Protein backbone atom coordinates (compact mmCIF):
# COMPACT_ATOMS: atom_id res chain seq x y z
CA UNK A 1 0.00 0.00 0.00
CA UNK A 2 1.34 3.45 -0.97
CA UNK A 3 1.33 6.26 1.59
CA UNK A 4 2.66 9.82 1.49
CA UNK A 5 4.40 11.39 4.49
CA UNK A 6 4.80 15.10 5.24
CA UNK A 7 6.83 15.30 8.41
CA UNK A 8 4.71 13.30 10.85
CA UNK A 9 1.58 13.69 8.75
CA UNK A 10 0.41 10.72 6.69
CA UNK A 11 -1.79 10.73 3.60
CA UNK A 12 -3.36 7.33 2.77
CA UNK A 13 -5.06 7.41 -0.65
CA UNK A 14 -6.46 3.88 -0.32
CA UNK A 15 -8.29 4.91 2.84
CA UNK A 16 -9.07 8.47 1.65
CA UNK A 17 -7.62 9.70 4.95
CA UNK A 18 -5.17 12.39 6.05
CA UNK A 19 -3.68 12.04 9.54
CA UNK A 20 -1.83 14.84 11.33
CA UNK A 21 -0.62 15.09 14.92
CA UNK A 22 -4.09 15.99 16.15
CA UNK A 23 -6.60 13.88 14.24
CA UNK A 24 -7.46 11.91 11.13
CA UNK A 25 -9.63 13.60 8.52
CA UNK A 26 -11.76 11.57 6.13
CA UNK A 27 -11.45 12.96 2.61
CA UNK A 28 -13.96 12.75 -0.20
CA UNK A 29 -13.15 10.79 -3.35
CA UNK A 30 -12.61 14.02 -5.31
CA UNK A 31 -10.34 15.52 -2.63
CA UNK A 32 -8.27 12.31 -2.50
CA UNK A 33 -7.78 12.26 -6.28
CA UNK A 34 -6.81 15.95 -6.42
CA UNK A 35 -4.29 15.71 -3.58
CA UNK A 36 -2.66 12.56 -4.95
CA UNK A 37 -2.41 14.06 -8.44
CA UNK A 38 -0.78 17.23 -7.08
CA UNK A 39 1.71 15.16 -5.02
CA UNK A 40 2.57 12.88 -7.96
CA UNK A 41 3.20 15.98 -10.08
CA UNK A 42 5.01 18.03 -7.45
CA UNK A 43 6.75 21.13 -8.81
CA UNK A 44 4.36 21.40 -11.75
CA UNK A 45 1.56 23.93 -12.04
CA UNK A 46 -1.73 22.12 -12.62
CA UNK A 47 -4.52 24.12 -14.21
CA UNK A 48 -7.95 24.41 -12.69
CA UNK A 49 -9.46 22.65 -15.69
CA UNK A 50 -7.14 19.65 -15.25
CA UNK A 51 -7.91 19.36 -11.54
CA UNK A 52 -11.64 19.53 -12.25
CA UNK A 53 -11.18 16.68 -14.73
CA UNK A 54 -9.14 14.66 -12.21
CA UNK A 55 -11.49 15.23 -9.28
CA UNK A 56 -14.76 14.72 -11.14
CA UNK A 57 -14.14 12.55 -14.21
CA UNK A 58 -16.97 12.42 -16.74
CA UNK A 59 -18.97 14.91 -14.69
CA UNK A 60 -19.88 18.55 -15.17
CA UNK A 61 -19.50 20.57 -11.95
CA UNK A 62 -19.38 24.25 -11.14
CA UNK A 63 -15.86 25.77 -10.98
CA UNK A 64 -16.36 26.60 -7.31
CA UNK A 65 -16.30 22.86 -6.51
CA UNK A 66 -12.52 22.92 -6.90
CA UNK A 67 -12.19 25.87 -4.50
CA UNK A 68 -14.21 23.96 -1.88
CA UNK A 69 -12.04 20.84 -2.31
CA UNK A 70 -8.79 22.82 -1.94
CA UNK A 71 -10.15 24.56 1.17
CA UNK A 72 -11.09 21.23 2.76
CA UNK A 73 -7.62 19.83 2.07
CA UNK A 74 -5.96 22.84 3.71
CA UNK A 75 -8.17 22.35 6.77
CA UNK A 76 -7.05 18.72 6.95
CA UNK A 77 -3.37 19.77 6.85
CA UNK A 78 -3.73 22.15 9.82
CA UNK A 79 -0.32 23.48 8.91
CA UNK A 80 0.98 27.04 9.09
CA UNK A 81 2.87 26.39 5.89
CA UNK A 82 1.00 26.59 2.62
CA UNK A 83 1.24 23.04 1.27
CA UNK A 84 -0.99 23.60 -1.75
CA UNK A 85 0.28 26.77 -3.40
CA UNK A 86 -2.09 28.90 -5.47
CA UNK A 87 -0.61 30.28 -8.69
CA UNK A 88 -2.90 33.15 -9.58
CA UNK A 89 -4.35 32.84 -13.05
CA UNK A 90 -2.56 29.52 -13.67
CA UNK A 91 -3.66 26.89 -11.14
CA UNK A 92 -2.20 25.05 -8.15
CA UNK A 93 1.00 23.24 -7.25
CA UNK A 94 2.84 21.47 -4.43
CA UNK A 95 6.56 22.11 -4.02
CA UNK A 96 9.02 19.34 -4.79
CA UNK A 97 9.90 16.94 -1.96
CA UNK A 98 7.05 18.18 0.19
CA UNK A 99 5.62 14.66 0.47
CA UNK A 100 7.69 11.49 0.55
CA UNK A 101 6.18 8.40 -1.00
CA UNK A 102 6.58 5.15 0.91
CA UNK A 103 5.45 1.56 0.60
CA UNK A 104 3.55 0.52 3.69
CA UNK A 105 2.84 -3.11 4.55
CA UNK A 106 0.11 -3.51 7.18
CA UNK A 107 0.98 -5.87 10.00
CA UNK A 108 -0.90 -9.14 10.04
CA UNK A 109 -2.11 -10.06 13.51
CA UNK A 110 -2.66 -13.78 14.01
CA UNK A 111 -5.17 -14.87 16.58
CA UNK A 112 -3.46 -17.81 18.31
CA UNK A 113 -6.73 -19.34 19.44
CA UNK A 114 -8.18 -19.16 15.93
CA UNK A 115 -4.92 -20.49 14.46
CA UNK A 116 -5.02 -23.52 16.75
CA UNK A 117 -8.63 -24.13 15.82
CA UNK A 118 -7.75 -24.07 12.12
CA UNK A 119 -4.91 -26.54 12.72
CA UNK A 120 -7.24 -28.93 14.49
CA UNK A 121 -9.90 -28.62 11.84
CA UNK A 122 -8.36 -31.09 9.34
CA UNK A 123 -8.15 -33.79 12.03
CA UNK A 124 -11.79 -33.24 12.93
CA UNK A 125 -12.75 -33.41 9.29
CA UNK A 126 -10.76 -36.63 8.92
CA UNK A 127 -12.59 -38.19 11.87
CA UNK A 128 -15.94 -37.12 10.45
CA UNK A 129 -15.02 -38.49 7.03
CA UNK A 130 -13.95 -41.83 8.53
CA UNK A 131 -17.17 -42.03 10.51
CA UNK A 132 -19.17 -41.21 7.42
CA UNK A 133 -17.28 -43.84 5.42
CA UNK A 134 -17.87 -46.49 8.10
CA UNK A 135 -21.55 -45.66 8.24
CA UNK A 136 -21.77 -45.87 4.46
CA UNK A 137 -20.07 -49.27 4.41
CA UNK A 138 -22.38 -50.57 7.13
CA UNK A 139 -25.34 -49.36 5.16
CA UNK A 140 -24.21 -50.98 1.93
CA UNK A 141 -23.40 -54.42 3.44
CA UNK A 142 -27.02 -55.56 3.98
CA UNK A 143 -27.89 -54.57 0.42
CA UNK A 144 -25.11 -56.82 -0.89
CA UNK A 145 -26.30 -59.78 1.20
CA UNK A 146 -29.90 -59.28 0.12
CA UNK A 147 -28.88 -59.51 -3.54
CA UNK A 148 -28.74 -63.35 -3.47
CA UNK A 149 -32.42 -63.99 -2.56
CA UNK A 150 -33.45 -61.43 -5.14
CA UNK A 151 -31.45 -63.15 -7.90
CA UNK A 152 -32.90 -66.54 -6.88
CA UNK A 153 -36.43 -65.18 -7.15
CA UNK A 154 -35.71 -63.75 -10.58
CA UNK A 155 -34.21 -67.05 -11.79
CA UNK A 156 -37.17 -69.02 -10.44
CA UNK A 157 -39.61 -66.70 -12.21
CA UNK A 158 -37.73 -67.04 -15.49
CA UNK A 159 -37.78 -70.85 -15.25
CA UNK A 160 -41.52 -70.89 -14.59
CA UNK A 161 -42.12 -68.59 -17.54
CA UNK A 162 -40.07 -70.78 -19.91
CA UNK A 163 -41.80 -73.97 -18.75
CA UNK A 164 -45.23 -72.42 -19.12
CA UNK A 165 -44.41 -71.21 -22.63
CA UNK A 166 -43.12 -74.67 -23.61
CA UNK A 167 -46.28 -76.38 -22.30
CA UNK A 168 -48.51 -73.95 -24.18
CA UNK A 169 -46.53 -74.49 -27.38
CA UNK A 170 -46.73 -78.27 -27.03
CA UNK A 171 -50.47 -78.18 -26.30
CA UNK A 172 -51.18 -75.97 -29.30
CA UNK A 173 -49.28 -78.31 -31.65
CA UNK A 174 -50.81 -81.55 -30.32
CA UNK A 175 -53.30 -83.29 -32.60
CA UNK A 176 -55.28 -86.49 -32.27
CA UNK A 177 -53.63 -89.35 -34.20
CA UNK A 178 -55.41 -90.53 -37.38
CA UNK A 179 -57.35 -93.77 -37.32
CA UNK A 180 -58.02 -96.39 -40.06
CA UNK A 181 -60.20 -99.49 -40.15
CA UNK A 182 -58.60 -102.73 -41.31
CA UNK A 183 -60.71 -105.94 -41.35
CA UNK A 184 -63.34 -104.21 -39.26
CA UNK A 185 -60.64 -103.30 -36.71
CA UNK A 186 -59.99 -99.63 -35.93
CA UNK A 187 -56.29 -98.81 -35.66
CA UNK A 188 -55.05 -95.35 -34.55
CA UNK A 189 -51.56 -93.86 -34.51
CA UNK A 190 -49.42 -91.17 -36.11
CA UNK A 191 -47.35 -93.77 -37.94
CA UNK A 192 -48.18 -97.39 -37.37
CA UNK A 193 -46.17 -100.34 -38.61
CA UNK A 194 -48.69 -103.14 -39.25
CA UNK A 195 -48.29 -106.84 -39.92
CA UNK A 196 -49.37 -108.16 -43.28
CA UNK A 197 -52.12 -110.29 -41.73
CA UNK A 198 -53.91 -107.14 -40.50
CA UNK A 199 -54.00 -105.47 -43.93
CA UNK A 200 -56.72 -105.76 -46.58
CA UNK A 201 -56.27 -108.52 -49.17
CA UNK A 202 -56.02 -106.08 -52.06
CA UNK A 203 -52.54 -104.95 -50.95
CA UNK A 204 -49.48 -106.63 -52.40
CA UNK A 205 -47.61 -109.36 -50.64
CA UNK A 206 -45.17 -107.10 -48.86
CA UNK A 207 -44.47 -107.81 -45.26
CA UNK A 208 -45.26 -104.33 -43.93
CA UNK A 209 -47.01 -101.10 -44.86
CA UNK A 210 -46.98 -97.59 -43.37
CA UNK A 211 -49.95 -95.48 -42.34
CA UNK A 212 -49.13 -91.77 -42.43
CA UNK A 213 -50.62 -89.03 -40.26
CA UNK A 214 -53.58 -88.61 -42.61
CA UNK A 215 -54.57 -92.28 -42.45
CA UNK A 216 -53.32 -93.27 -45.91
CA UNK A 217 -51.55 -96.60 -46.28
CA UNK A 218 -48.37 -97.06 -48.29
CA UNK A 219 -46.54 -100.26 -49.11
CA UNK A 220 -42.94 -100.46 -48.04
CA UNK A 221 -40.61 -100.31 -51.02
Domains and CATH numbers, the chain: 2-103 (1.10.10.10), 179-219 (no CATH)
Judge contact between 204 and 217, C-beta under 8 A. Answer: no
Q: Reduced to 3 states, what is the DSSP secondary structure of residue 180?
A: strand
Question: At CA 190, angle to CA 187 and CA 191, rounded to 5?
Answer: 85
Q: 118 CB contacts (<8 Å, ≥6 apart)? A: none
Q: 183 CB contacts (<8 Å, ≥6 apart)? A: 198, 200
State the Cα–Cα distance between residues 210 and 193, nearest whole angstrom.
Answer: 6
pLDDT tens for the chain, 221 residues long, are 899 999 999 999 999 999 998 899 999 999 999 999 999 999 999 999 999 999 999 888 998 999 999 999 999 998 878 899 999 999 999 999 999 999 877 665 555 566 565 555 555 555 555 555 555 555 544 454 555 677 788 888 888 888 887 787 656 555 555 555 555 555 555 444 444 444 555 555 444 555 555 556 655 44
State the Cα–Cα distance between residues 206 and 63, nearest whole angstrom.
Answer: 141
Among 22, 12, 5, 14, which Cα is nearest to 75's?
22
Question: At CA 48, angle to CA 33 and CA 27, rounded to 5?
Answer: 30
3-state helix, strand, coil in the chain (%, to 5): 45, 20, 35
**Strands lying side by side in the sheet with 208-211:** 192-195, 208-211, 217-219
End-to-end CA distance of the chain: 120
Q: What is the pTM of this model?
A: 0.49
Q: What per-residue string of b and e applies to 129-151 under the rule 16 or more CB within 10 Å gives b? A: eeeeeeeeeeeeeeeeeeeeeee
Q: 78-117, pLDDT tens digit by residue?
A: 887 889 999 999 999 999 999 999 987 766 555 556 656 5
Amino acid sequence: MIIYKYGKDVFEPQKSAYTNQEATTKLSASETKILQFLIDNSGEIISREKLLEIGWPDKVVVPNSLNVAIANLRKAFKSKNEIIITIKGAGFTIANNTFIQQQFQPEVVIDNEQHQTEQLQPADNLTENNAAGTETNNTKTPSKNNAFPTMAKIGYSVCLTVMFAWIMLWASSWQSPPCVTVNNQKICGNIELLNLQKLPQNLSGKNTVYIDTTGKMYEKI
